[in-house]
Amino acid sequence: MTETFRPDARTPRGFIDKRAADLRAERRIIEAVSAVYERYGFERLDTGAFEYADALGKFLPDSDRPNEGVFALQDDDEQWMALRYDLTAPLARFSAQFWETLPKPFRRYAFGPVWRNEKPGPGRFREFIQCDADTVGSSRPEADAEMIAMMAEGLEAVGLPQGQAVVKINNRKLLNGLLTTVGVQSEPQRLAVLRAVDKLDRLGADGVRYLLGEGRKDESGAFTPGAKLNAGAAERVLAFLGAGREDRGATLSNLADVIGGSVEGDEGLADLAKIDAALTRMGVDHDRAAFDPSIVRGLEYYTGAVFEAELLLETRDEHGHAVRFGSVGGGGRYDDLVARFTGERQPATGFSFGVSRLAAALRAAGREAASDVRGPVVVIVFDPQAMGEYFAVAAELRAAGIAAEVYLGGSGMKAQMKYADRRLSPAAVILGGDEIAAGTVTIKDLDLGRALAAGITDNRQWREDRPGQATVPRAELVASVRRIVDAVS
């Protein structure tokens, strides 16, 4: 006898299934951030999930099958296509392809899933959602300032009041000028210094000092070779990293002392001064956007200003343990990306929020409103012969803009009420033979039941005004249900 093959029901590694609460949380973030982008005059653009693999540039390996870092397939014309790795490479391709017809500068925002063929881990997925804004065609530092202001407003729009998140800003020209002043010439040594700088948050000044010098051995005994700077050069880098002060102007003064008059460093300082002036006029103060010399992003990608959005609020996991989310978005100036297609340098700046990561951080901080996860009103089924009445009730509620469903399982009333509770329904509508004959409906307030079960003792007036279950004339169905749906506990 041949045994029937039955595959294991399992989610592919690095991917995640999302139910309504997760999807609504992400949708709320996208809608809130998109509204900020549109207030700034940015146009929405949606490109396809696939790009030709050669358009993704630096993410392609030297192999016959370009699937390292990306998910790729060969089309029937033998050209390789890959799922987009981010939303910026498609923008660069689109800008190069349609530049003659676009308004210049071209200001666009986009959101959607991206895919990375990388080793998954805790909080690191192969598919996730990004929400970007970019300006292509402007070299002005004020374009960078606008991105930073939108980041700050976007964080507040999703429910993070001032003081609970900050945008940290640096400029790659400062870093390059610093490396010139300390005598770094080779590209490998330059990258080693930048990687050391990027570890300041995790290792502290002493750990970075070792990595700037001969190297560092961690707790496991593993050794990381250093950048081989002499002691004086290493201390100058550390002084640069510690140049941040209580406001942007004071930080600029400190940086000017450390950079030492290098041409590229002075350009970076001038850019930051213009960014500071624009942010100040837009009402974005130091608490919302701060200069931080330790910010390093995209070692081979960014060409000028760089910025990161960092959460400052306390977050905890499901076990109550403190969790540090850190960066939930970032970006900067990338003036070389479009040139891959055209051969001509095209200034561009932009940033991206990690929507899934931001949603997880808000959840860990307890910032999800109960209304974000409530299900529909459930119409309880007593008699299969009265299905028409049940659907009429659901249709009436839906016509009034209230989500509603008729229970279509085969269980009795107790199981149906349990179903409604699991759906986090605000109310259940009970319509038995007596109610139908009398022209009434019975409405059970499930929100109130959950609040009482959770031991809520405050807001006495709210509880006293809600009877829990009431029978009302059929004509009052919508008004009675709406009072429950719209109530704020």
Tens digits of per-residue pLDDT, 305-324?
999 999 887 766 666 666 66
Mean pLDDT of 79-84: 93
Averaged pLDDT, 137-162: 94
Q: Which pLDDT score is estimated for 369?
A: 42
What is the per-residue pLDDT for 8?
Answer: 93
Q: Which tokens in the block code for residue 60? A: 């392609």
Percentage of the chain exceeding pLDDT 90: 54
* Residues whose CB falls within 8 Å of the CB of residue 321, separated by 6 or more in sequence, listed in order: none
d(CA 473, CA 306) in angstroms, rounded, equals: 62
**Distance set, CA 12 to CA 15, 114, 126 (Å):** 6, 16, 10
Regarding predicted confidence, which is higher, 460 or 401? 401
pLDDT digits (tens, 9 = 90+) for 411-459: 998 999 999 998 889 999 999 888 999 999 999 999 887 777 655 555 5
What is the pLDDT, as a whole number, of residue 406?
Answer: 96
Q: Which two three-digit tokens encode residue 386?
A: 């009265």
Asked if residue 278 lies in contact with residue 146, where contact means CB atoms within 8 angstroms, the answer is yes
pLDDT of residue 317: 61
* Mean per-residue pLDDT, 348-372: 77
Token digits for 414? 């107790």
| CATH homologous superfamily, domain 20-49+84-184+229-364 | Bira Bifunctional Protein; Domain 2 (3.30.930.10)
pLDDT at 61: 47
Higher pLDDT, 461 or 47: 47
- Beta-carbon-side half-sphere exposure of residue 315 (alpha carbons within 13 Å): 23
Convert the pLDDT of each residue in 6-41 to its tens digit.
999 999 999 999 988 888 889 999 999 999 999 999
Same fold, 20-49+84-184+229-364 and 375-486: no
Kindly state the percentage of the chain with pLDDT values over 70.
Answer: 89
Which CATH architecture describes the domain 375-486?
3-Layer(aba) Sandwich (3.40)
Q: Is 5 left (phi over 0), alpha (psi -120 to 50) or beta?
A: beta
**Residue 120, preceding peptide bond in cis (omega within 30° of 0):** no
Domain coordinates in residue numbering, the chain: 20-49+84-184+229-364, 375-486
For 148, 172, 319, 346, the CA distances from 268, given in Å and listed in that order, are: 16, 7, 45, 19
Judged against a pLDDT cut of 70, whether residue 462 lies above it is answered with no
Q: Identify the DSSP state of 385.
A: G
Q: Is the model's pTM score more than 0.85? A: no
Query: For residues 423-439, b (16+ Cβ closer than 10 Å) or e, as one string?
Result: bbbbbbbbbbeebbeee
Average pLDDT over the chain, rounded to whole?
A: 87
